[in-house]
Structure 1
Amino acid sequence: MNTFNRVISILDRSLMKIEELILSFAIIVISVMVIGNVLSRTFTGASWAFNEEISRFALFLATFIGISYVARKGRHISMSAFFDLAPHKIRKALAIIIPLVTAIVLFVLAYYAYGYMASVRDSGRVTAALRFPYYWMLIAVPLGFVLGGIQFLRNAWINIKEKDVYLATDKKDYDRTDGAI
């Protein structure tokens, strides 16, 4: 493996670990907010004022950073009935076309999401309880779309480069190469 590929591999593994950390953190925060708020209402009769804001931020993180992670692992939602029944050559073509189209859509969505985030930033909008800039919650949206688009490009590239059909860079399509069901 040459130096460039080694650097890319290290960056990719580092990004995956960061995604895993963010996703784990977001799920833990959501759990703490839900359980803590229930306990607060039960014992004090009052909800936490900041609960909705923190939960929403964690949900944005989990949802949009999760796009990249599930694309990387080949665990994204797919309508695969036709794909699964298709012969190898058609599955191979679909395994290139579908991620390319998905990447394009994600990059377009990232563009519009960034524009929206910038307009919210420029408006000076802040959250009601914690008073932090609302655009902080939205940063995960264009970032997640861009990272997801990159992962789908990688998924298309592995299918261009390799003979077998891949659902993700490290996940073959049921390890089938003959088109058999």
Structure 2
Amino acid sequence: MEDNIYKDLPREGGLVKLLNLIDKAICRIEKVLLTYGIILMSVILIANVLSRLIFKNSIVFAEEVGRYLIIIVTFIGMSHVARIDKHVKVAAFYDSRKTKKSRKILAVMISSVTSATLFWLAYITFRYMMTAVLSGRVSPALGIPVYIVIGVVTLGILFTAIQYLVILIKNLTSDEVYIGRFPESEAIEEVK
């Protein structure tokens, strides 16, 4: 299914080919982290509830692992929902545009500003992660370095920035209007 999202990007040009490779790799990473993150979180938290009910004791690390997995699923999931255009958005202004040209201009503006903002945010979280590396902070129950969790947040933000960059490039290189992985016309048909 994911391979179809690249069909609308022109195949010529080094930048587009590079973005396609990066995007495919990100998609695979997202799938693995989201799938195993949700499964592991469910198993650990259900086991913790059962342990409390049956043995009257919690699993020491369960809440910490659950918290970290929620963070991982949230920030990696952010990139995934941007890819499939299922993120929460305020579409009233965009939807009120009557002409394809005005929607195209707005789509380019939205994807470029969003991508730039997310790249900046990824840079800031990367710097924060580096301060955590230098401080040597570790989590209380598991003793894992805190920078690992911050690194996942950074990756999620970076992956989302790349998704919006791909959407921007699709809008700049295609006659169609893209607000996600599909052209606007296909997204409208999906709703009907």
TM normalised by structure 2 equals: 0.83
SS of residue paired to 2:186? coil
- CA pair 69-85 structure 1, distance change in 2 beyond 3 A: same
Q: Are 1:113 and 2:125 an aligned pair?
A: yes
Conserved 8 A contact 1:60-1:138: no
How far is the alpha carbon of 1:111 from its aligned partner?
1.4
SS of residue paired to 1:128? coil
Aligned pairs for 1:64-143 within 5 A: 64-87=75-98, 88-143=100-155
Distance in 2 of aligned mates of 1:25 and 1:120: 26
Distance in 2 of aligned mates of 1:11 and 1:159: 18
Match of 2:159 in 1: 147
SS of residue paired to 1:175? helix
Conserved 8 A contact 1:126-1:134: yes
Distance in 1 of aligned mates of 2:77 and 2:174: 26
Aligned length: 176
Distance in 1 of aligned mates of 2:92 and 2:132: 41
Match of 2:47 in 1: 36
Conserved 8 A contact 1:96-1:160: yes
- CA pair 74-110 structure 1, distance change in 2 beyond 3 A: same
* Residues 119-157 of structure 1 deviation map (CA, whole Å, 9 limit, x = unaligned): 112111111111111111111111111111111011111
- CA pair 11-116 structure 1, distance change in 2 beyond 3 A: closer
SS of residue paired to 2:179? strand
SS of residue paired to 1:129? coil
- CA pair 89-66 structure 1, distance change in 2 beyond 3 A: same
Mind listing any 5+ residue stretches in structure 2 that lack a counterpart? Answer: 1-10
Distance in 2 of aligned mates of 1:34 and 1:138: 22
* Residues 41-75 of structure 1 deviation map (CA, whole Å, 9 limit, x = unaligned): 00011111101221122112111112222222222
Distance in 1 of aligned mates of 2:17 and 2:90: 35
- Percent identity over the alignment is 36
SS of residue paired to 1:24? helix
Conserved 8 A contact 1:71-1:152: yes
SS of residue paired to 1:58? helix
Match of 2:7 in 1: none
Mind listing any 5+ residue stretches in structure 1 that lack a counterpart? Answer: none
Match of 2:175 in 1: 163
Aligned pairs for 1:3-82 within 5 A: 4=14, 9-82=20-93
How far is the alpha carbon of 1:8 from its aligned partner?
5.1
Conserved 8 A contact 2:26-2:159: no
